[in-house]
Amino acid sequence: MKRRHTSGDREFNPETLALGFAYEPELSQQAVKPPVFLTSTFQFGSALEGKRFFELAYGLREQEVGERRGLIYSRLNNPNLQIFEERMAAWDRTEMGATFSTGMAAISTCMLGLLKPGDVVLTTSPVYGGTHYLFSHVLPVYGIEVRFVDAGDDAPGAMRAAAEAAGRERVRVLFVETPANPNLVHSDVAAISALGRELTAERDGESSRPVVTLVDNTLLGPVFQRPAVAGADIVLYSATKFLGGHSDLVAGVATGPESLMRPIRDLRTILGTITTPFNGWLLLRSLETVSVRMRRQAKSARKLARILEEHPKVTRVLHPSLLEEGTAQRALFERQCTGDGSLLCFEVEGGEAAAFEVLDRFEVFRLAVSLGGTESLVEHPMSMTHADVPPAELEALGVSSGMIRVSVGLEHMSDLRRDLKHALGG
């Protein structure tokens, strides 16, 4: 199946591409679904073919028009991963995808591929706890400076000011997690991407190293948000979450233009951060239903958000569906997103002790980290997923010790409603 239909040369919708793109049954005994290619090594048709495959793999020559990169070894590429990468790139409306062993492997490999000592990264805050640790404790060891700005309406302006303070010529990466985890604040991808292009245009003789805008799209993508359409260069996911969707794998994926993704994929080969063929097969299975799952989960989340908003023991509820009309956040959400997702947060009085009491009473919602699976999950951000971030910093960002994060799954709505009320004490 091709990316575009012969009739009218129109591109298929992502939900259709997820079921057939980049796979030809005649190559696998006419199997309707791709089989799992559990092999480390692929046989060459001839010695010359093997030589040509390696020339491309190690950048010894340019790829010829119409030439495909051959299969060599599953640390470089694998049919299951290749199919998933092409389908993800089609969904994001980008040119090339790359799978990784985890979401953090995707972010880390991209950063190591894009940055050098002396470079500056500007990032919105808060970000996922693992990303915060990478930015705060790992990249600085290699002489890379990371500056944080608050996510939200003022993020583009704050990034511009941070670039001025750091030295505009030193900035190499703009990193955005939107909506932010866990306070669900939205940042303007189009405006931040425009800043990246502006900074790139100022470079003299450094066009080979543009300022790259990366967006962590895990919480709403690929169904409800498409950062590349808004101007972002690289779109990142923890594929463990909605893309995998069944809490039975860990993986990551990045998509973007070939000019950026090709060297990142080459670095992935050397670092060995690619995921396994079986994970690729599982991701292909899950991608077929991601739109259906995410829409059903979002529908339930909207209902639960309204219940929480009216509950006397809940002091605050965070969910895009509750953004007030006429606010800048509401306008940005409507401009940037097509749906509100299934992650929500609520706050109870009494801090950590009160939050723990609620968490320990759930019977349907599972007390566990992660999100985006078929099962509903609850956790305590300050002491769990974001434990590395100083509490005062989290408090300043609106993440309190009484906050509980909820990932809504596919259970029956009546059971979720009952369990939520029970956990809150009726």
How confident is the model over 185-209, as a mean pLDDT?
89
List C-alpha distances in Å: 64 to 6, 54, 69, 174, 223: 25, 14, 10, 33, 34
pLDDT band at 69 (very low <50, low <70, confident <90, very high): confident
Q: For residue range 214-273, what is the model confidence (pLDDT) as tens digits?
A: 999 999 999 999 999 999 999 999 999 999 999 999 999 999 999 999 999 999 999 999
Q: For residue range 95-105, what is the model confidence (pLDDT) as tens digits?
A: 999 999 999 99
DSSP state for residue 234 in the 8-state scheme: E
Q: What is the pLDDT of residue 209?
A: 87
Distance CA 211, CA 213 (A): 7
* Residue in the structure block whose two tokens are 């890379």: 144
* Residue in the structure block whose two tokens are 């900035």: 171
How confident is the model over 382-388, as a mean pLDDT?
94
Question: Phi first, then psi: what are they for 5, rounded to 5°?
Answer: -80, 140
- The domain 292-423 is classified under which CATH number: 3.30.300.30, 3.90.1150.10, 3.40.50.920, 3.30.70.980? 3.90.1150.10
How confident is the model over 122-131, as a mean pLDDT?
96
Q: State the DSSP string of 350-384.
A: THHHHHHHHHTT-SSSEE-S--SSSS-EEE-TTTT
Q: What is the pLDDT of residue 10?
A: 87
Q: What is the pLDDT of residue 245?
A: 97
Q: Which sign does the torsion angle of CA 294, 300, 301, 302 carry? A: positive
Amino acid symbol at 392: A
pLDDT exceeds cutoff 60 at 206: no
116: left (phi over 0), alpha (psi -120 to 50) or beta: beta
Distance CA 85, CA 257 (A): 13
pLDDT exceeds cutoff 70 at 410: yes
Distance CA 183, CA 398 (A): 7
Q: What is the pLDDT of residue 207?
A: 56
Q: State the DSSP string of 275-314.
A: --HHHHHHHHHHHTTHHHHHHHHHHHHHHHHHHHHH-TTE
End-to-end C-alpha distance for the chain, whole angstroms: 53
CATH number of the structural domain 74-287: 3.40.640.10
Distance CA 409, CA 419 (A): 13
Stronger pLDDT, 63 or 383, i.e. the higher one:
383
Q: What is the pLDDT of residue 360?
A: 98
* Residue in the structure block whose two tokens are 């929480």: 308
Q: What is the pLDDT of residue 184?
A: 97
Q: What is the pLDDT of residue 153?
A: 96
Q: For residue range 306-364, what is the model confidence (pLDDT) as tens digits?
A: 999 999 999 999 999 999 999 999 999 999 999 999 999 999 999 999 999 999 999 99
DSSP state for residue 414 in the 8-state scheme: H
Sketch the domain layout of the chain as residue ranges.
74-287, 292-423
Q: Are strands 96-100 and 252-256 parallel, antiparallel or unpaired?
A: antiparallel
Q: What is the pLDDT of residue 59?
A: 83
Distance CA 97, CA 110 (A): 12
Kindly state the tokens that stand for 342.
């299934």
Mean per-residue pLDDT of the chain: 95
Residues 358-380 as b or e (16 or more Cβ within 10 Å = b)? bbeebebbbeeebbbbbbbbbbb
